[in-house]
Structure 1
Amino acid sequence: MTAAQADLARARNEFTPDTPPPAVVIDTPQVEDGAAIWRIARDSEVLDLNSSYSYLLWCRDFAATSLVARGAGGEPVAFVTGYIRPERPGTLVVWQIAVDHGHRGRGLAATLLDALTTRLAGQGVHTVETTVTPDNTASDRLFTSFAERRGASLDREVLFDGGLFPEGTHQPEVLYRIQPIGPRAHVGAGDGDGTAG
């Protein structure tokens, strides 16, 4: 194990959803955070980047089902966006999760996911859905670990075949359905941290 790997393992073991990394505050996004969230998504280099306008709207219209992690200066350093499915009010769809490159390895993605689902479980949410492309190992690890921490089942099925996308090169979007989401457990080593969605 290299020194960097040891630092990463230590960081993942030190931080849990109850104790976010030092100088990081978990908060509801504000419209003013939209540009920073867009930049974090863009710089991830793996998320489908939406228009900057859509991130502003997300911070306005879906703030209750999204979170940001703020750094020491109050700027967003990570985010999770989601929405409640209109026809299934007990289901949270996690749209995107991303962590700024300089804040990875601290368990922030898992912390945000746990904080959001804990908050919404009190409002009747019992199922989490997201889609993951087959090449996104960070997302797979993050959501598999989340299901294990919650003692929940994780079912996978192709939701949108790659051929449905206009560019013709998009990988299939695999639906991950995690249910029921019970009480949270602590984030530990091996939990994904980086970019998901």
Structure 2
Amino acid sequence: MQTMQETKTDGAVTFRKPVREDGAAIWELIRSCKPLDENSMYANLLQADHFRDTCVVALVDDEIAGWVSAYITPQDPDSMFVWQVAVSEKARGIGLGTRMLSALMTREEASDCKRMKTTITLDNDASWALFTKFAEKNNAILDSEAHFTRDTHFNGEHATEHMLTITFREAVQQSAA
């Protein structure tokens, strides 16, 4: 059973923690959002089950239209690492990505997070725009540097991933109030 802490309605969109029964629908959403990297359905099932406190599903008309997978990094418990953001084609243009990130960061589980991190390739304009907008909305400092490089980490098979770090000047919980 979901508590009020786990579910939040914002206009016509409901944001909630995923449940394991969402795994297949999350996998289908990601598959429909090219060029997002696809993981196995099992990986998405594990995210929805084991990492539910730091993941978000957005429902539009009772269907999963958005997904954020994230976790608090073991090496840096003050940082929330966002692994993936997916928004269905029917839900684009309403700021759903930014709203899901806000829903995530206003949860109790994120209350000690001073930073949000993610990795993005230089050619991923949509992700750069999303995280830049989120940083601006939260009056945060945005920084980036090469993190996983094409030759060193990807054997030349994938573009360099840049670590984008958003450092909050104040707790996101306060700014959302």
Calculate the TM-score normalised by the size of structure 2.
Answer: 0.87
- Provide the secondary structure at the position in 1 that maps to 2:27: helix
Q: Indicate the structure with greater strand content.
A: 2
- 1:111 alignment partner in structure 2: 99
Partner residue, 1:70? 59
Name the CA distance, whole Å, in 1 between partners of 2:88 and 2:72.
Answer: 25
SS at structure 1 position matched to 2:57: strand
Per the TM alignment, residue 175 of structure 1 is displaced from its structure 2 partner at its CA by 0.3
Give the number of aligned pairs. 166
Following TM superposition, by how much is the alpha carbon of 1:180 offset from its aligned partner in structure 2, in angstroms? 2.0
- CA drift at 1:120: 4.8
Match of 1:20 among 10, 28, 31: 10
CA shift in 2, pair 1:107/1:60, >3 Å: same
C-alpha displacement of 1:86: 0.7
CA RMSD, 1 decimal:
1.9
The corresponding residue for 1:142 is 130
Counterpart AA for 2:20: V
Q: How far does the alpha carbon of each residue in 1:102-143 deviate from its partner, in whole angstroms, 9 at most, with x for none?
A: 111111111000111122576311110001111110100111
Match of 1:79 in 2: 67
Structure 2: distance between partners of 1:117 and 1:76? 20
How many angstroms apart in 1 are the aligned matches of 2:65 and 2:134? 21
Taking the TM superposition and a 5 Å limit, the aligned residue runs for 1:126-141 are 126-141=114-129
Q: Which has the higher contact order (CA 8 A, sep 6+)?
A: 1
State the identity as a percent: 40
- 1:52 alignment partner in structure 2: 41
Give the secondary-structure state (helix, strand or coil) at the position aligned to 1:96: strand
Structure 1 Cα separation of the partners of residues 169 and 67 of structure 2:
20
Matches within 5 A, 1:27-38: 27-38=16-27
Q: Name the CA distance, whole Å, in 1 between partners of 2:10 and 2:147.
A: 33
Match of 1:156 in 2: 144
- Cα distance in 2 for partners of 1:128, 1:94 equals 7
TM superposition shift of 1:79 = 0.8
TM-score by length of 1: 0.78
Q: Which of residues 164, 168, 174 in structure 1 aligns to 2:162?
A: 174
